[in-house]
Amino acid sequence: MAAEEENAAELKIGDDFLKAKCLMNCEVALILEHKYEQLQQMSEDPTTHISQVFEKSLQYVKRFSSFKATDAVRQAREILSRYQLAEFELCVLGNLCPETVEEAIAMVPSLKNRGRSLDDEVIEKMLNDLSMIKKFE
Question: In sequence order, which residues have a C-beta less than 8 Å from that of residue 124 and are 6 or more positions away?
Answer: 101
3 lies in some domain: no
Banded model confidence at residue 72, pLDDT cuts 50, 70, 90: very high
Note the pLDDT of residue 48: 66
Q: Does residue 44 or residue 126 have the better pLDDT?
A: 126
Q: How far apart are CA 20 and CA 22, in angstroms?
A: 6
* 23 lies in some domain: yes
Contact assessment for residue 126 and residue 83, using Cβ atoms and an 8 Å cutoff: yes
Q: Is the dihedral of CA 63, 65, 67, 69 positive or negative?
A: negative
Assess if residue 97 is contained within a domain.
yes
Is position 1 within any domain? no
If one compares 9 and 133, the residue with the highest pLDDT of the two is 133
In sequence order, the β-bridge partners of residue 12 are 7
Number of domains present in the structure of the chain: 1
CB 73 within 8 A of CB 67: yes
Tell me if 4 is assigned to some domain: no
pLDDT at 47: 61
Q: Is residue 96 part of a domain?
A: yes
Cα end-to-end distance, the chain, whole Å: 51
- Position 65 in a domain: yes
Higher-pLDDT residue of 25, 110: 25
Residue 32 domain boundaries: 11-40+49-136
Specify the amino acid at residue 111: L
Mean pLDDT of 35-46: 80
Residue 4 has pLDDT above 70, yes or no: no
Sequence-ordered alpha helix ranges (H) in the chain:
15-19, 25-42, 52-63, 70-81, 87-96, 101-107, 120-136
Residue 54 belongs to a domain: yes
CATH code for the domain in which residue 68 is found: 1.20.1250.40
Which amino acid, one-letter code, is at 30? L
